Structure 1
Amino acid sequence: MRYEEDEEMIMSLRDWRQALRTPPTYRVGNSTLRIQTTFVTVIALIGLFVLLILYTTSKRNSKTAGYGLGSNDVYRNHYFPQPHEILEKITHQESADEYYNATYPLTPPINTPSGVKFRIGIISDLDTHSKSKLESNTWISYFKTGHLMWLPSTSSITVVWDRTDPIELKSTFGQSGRGMELSELVVFNGKLLSFDDRTGLIYEINLESNSAIPWVLLMDGNGMTTKGFKSEWATVKAHRLYVGSMGKEWTTSGGELQNLNPMWVKVVSTTGQVRHLNWDQQYKTLRRAVGVEFPGYVIHESGVWSELRQRWFFLPRRLSKNRYNDETDEFMSTNILLSTDQHFSNVQVTYIGEVIPTHGYSSFKFLPGTDDSVIVALKSEEDKGRSATYITAFHVDGKILLPEIKVAELKYEGIEFI
């Protein structure tokens, strides 16, 4: 009996040692899965290595859209975009996953026997008359629409305005009792925008509801001020919206220097992020090209960047080699077109017709399909309290294609192909 117990114990010890030498097995259904630690580790390392290669390649191939004056990110406007809605992805440190709607014009041009028919719109700046007489704390602006006909074979242009009354746009946003003094129209990211030179607000003009919707607030100077930016011109460069002011030192009515806030430019992304650029030297370079130094001045109300030509174009509203004076300023209009490369290292001056002292450029756009060689512009007149608007067109070499035609007895300061 004792022998049998000892033999049974020896058998148990032998079985226990054999179990230690044998890897454990697990049953899953009818299959046997053995843990292969080394194999799993190798597979994990290979996976991490592949992911690292993919991430590095993606970063290398990404395209950065720059804010600065030296950005070479180029977008070329197509005459008839195919498809009509063009979406382009932007990769930027401030906009990691952003798409740009490059549709332009918003309404496709129409080919007719008489030429190419474009839809256009202009926006008013009524100054102190923008205050509504019917509603309290309300300011208004007028949006007027029409068609421009372009016949390339003869370089002829005709403009026909809609017979309906201009659309009345309203806003309850004002500063110091003034508002809705809209100074420019620009298509940006598939939207029509306008700019209040009193409050600093950028409005989206909704063409379906005929309303002005506040989008971004721009502050004066470097942005650290309590006053709205006096927006005067705007354009699109490298999928960014550039908004500029007068390009002239802020002075008293007698020309005494107050600050340099109008010498700044705002750069706005599609998501509404704002950068503030000091353009003091750029503006001074432009005015030196026409022999002007402070206390003389050049006032800018229209500026456009040409992606096709990689150049800036400006049609100054007023120019004087003398100190600013409220009474004489209305008679300082110009007939010059300034253009320069993106580094402002080479400024060209082109003269367009004769100077009409009270008719100054307030807005212009390149005619689509002309390789940015034909300009359609608005000129505003302010003379002893009387206002008027004129439309004209000319080649960038100065050849006039459409002499001035009066549009209205109101001051319209923004034009765009819509």
Structure 2
Amino acid sequence: MSHATIAEQRLDRYGPETTTYSLAIITDEDQASQVSLEDGQVAWQSMLRYDRMLRSQDPETGRARYAFEEVSEAEGGRHQLISLVAEGGRGAEFSELLQFGHKLLAFDDRTGLVCEIRDGHNLIPRQILITGSGDEKFKGFKAEWATLKDDQMVVGSHGKVGLDGGAVVPGSEEWVKLIDRDYRIHSVNWHHRYQAMREALGIDAARGYLIHEAAEWHPRKERWYFFPRKISREPFDEPVDERERGGSTLLVADESFRDIEVRTVGERIPDRGVSSIKFIPGHPEECVALKSVERGDVTETYAFCFDLDGNMLSDEIFLGAYKCEGVEIV
């Protein structure tokens, strides 16, 4: 009898009768993360907040509905995470959370640092991921999304291509890292998978772009679910990107990425883009997600739920005037 993989166990850690979930949500405040400690040492900080997510069902339609409750600081709902590791004067820019067995991991998209979060707020470094193949240059991997497949973590970047004289070439952000239970790393070039998703949306990589920060592998459906944060058929222009390129499109791909479905989830709000998604244990047809805003000096985060057919199962709920890019059910 085959054992349940870590990916399957993650879906089963709550049963279908569950109505109350605890969410962990982590901030990525970019340059604003630098702080000075009481002893004068320079460090980098992130905030980990905990919220409750409540599930109910409409008695007439049977459709699920989700609501969110803030856990106060007095109840242990806010924790400061301190990192002493930086690259180029920046650190603690945590862009994803993932439950790996019994451990909650955070991924720094600046330094490539993978940290276990222990006792709610202590950071324990476990690995450092290096950009691209890991052999190219001394630069942290820009980890943007993470999921479990079989008994491994799959950690990916945003999928940006390289350009050489106007021609598309595989980029260092198109690699993924496979990490096993002992934190050993294997780097894999995913250029053709990212390219397949661009083609599914009619994007010419020489002009436009598709930015990924949210993805999950479904072990029972054997499908990838990618929810791009930004979708553009025009060249990158930062003010336009911040105002107008947020997506509401879910891509569903088979394991080889040869068969990709395109689904719409809710109303597109142009300055909001999806930065993290997670399947809900006990209800693996349903997801919780974050949307982030970065518009000039304005940062905001919203939470919402949806099902895999594209139905919204909650409103988009404002969490705060700061940027969060990782959510996990703990």
1:349 aligns with: 262
User: One-letter code of the match for 2:299?
Assistant: S
Distance 1:217 1:256 in 2: 31
Kindly indicate whether the alpha-carbon contact (under 8 Å) linking 2:107 and 2:114 is maintained by their aligned counterparts in 1: yes
2:253 equivalent to 1:319? no
After superposition, give the CA deviation of every residue in 1:367-417 in whole Å (9 maximum; x if it has no partner): 1112x2111100001111110000011111111110111001110100000
Distance 1:306 1:183 in 2: 21
Q: Give the Å deviation of 1:131.
A: 0.4
1:138 aligns with: 43
1:329-368 equivalences in 2 (<5 Å): 329-330=241-242, 331-368=244-281
Kindly indicate whether the alpha-carbon contact (under 8 Å) linking 2:179 and 2:185 is maintained by their aligned counterparts in 1: yes
After superposition, give the CA deviation of every residue in 1:221-244 in whole Å (9 maximum; x if it has no partner): 000121010000000001100000
Q: Give the Å deviation of 1:64.
A: 11
Distance 2:116 2:274 in 1: 23
Q: 1:79 to 1:198 in 2, by over 3 A?
A: closer
Over the residues paired in the alignment, what is the CA RMSD in angstroms? 2.5
User: One-letter code of the match for 1:144?
Assistant: R
1:243 aligns with: 155
2:310 equivalent to 1:407? no
Distance 2:20 2:108 in 1: 29
1:297 aligns with: 209
Kindly indicate whether the alpha-carbon contact (under 8 Å) linking 1:74 and 1:307 is maintained by their aligned counterparts in 2: no
1:276 aligns with: 187
* SS of the residue 2:229 aligns to: strand
2:79 equivalent to 1:167? yes
Q: 1:78 to 1:409 in 2, by over 3 A?
A: closer
Kindly indicate whether the alpha-carbon contact (under 8 Å) linking 1:109 and 1:118 is maintained by their aligned counterparts in 2: no
Counterpart among 101, 125, 132 of residue 189 in structure 1 = 101
1:31-50 equivalences in 2 (<5 Å): none
User: One-letter code of the match for 1:156?
Assistant: R
After superposition, give the CA deviation of every residue in 1:22-57 in whole Å (9 maximum; x if it has no partner): xxxxxxxxxxxxxxxxxxxxxxxxxxxxxxxxxxxx
Bigger Rg over Cα: 1
Aligned residues: 317
Q: 1:358 to 1:202 in 2, by over 3 A?
A: same
Q: 1:145 to 1:64 in 2, by over 3 A?
A: closer
Distance 2:162 2:24 in 1: 31
Distance 2:157 2:300 in 1: 22
Distance 1:410 1:133 in 2: 20
Kindly indicate whether the alpha-carbon contact (under 8 Å) linking 1:109 and 1:119 is maintained by their aligned counterparts in 2: no
Q: Give the Å deviation of 1:249.
A: 1.9
1:287 aligns with: 198
Distance 1:345 1:120 in 2: 34
Which has the larger share of helix?
Answer: 1
2:8 equivalent to 1:76? yes
Which deviates more, 390-399 or 138-147?
A: 390-399
> Where does the alignment leave 5 or more consecutive residues of structure 1 unmatched?
1-60, 66-72, 81-103
* SS of the residue 1:401 aligns to: coil
Q: Give the Å deviation of 1:110.
A: 10
* SS of the residue 1:158 aligns to: strand
User: One-letter code of the match for 2:269?
Assistant: I
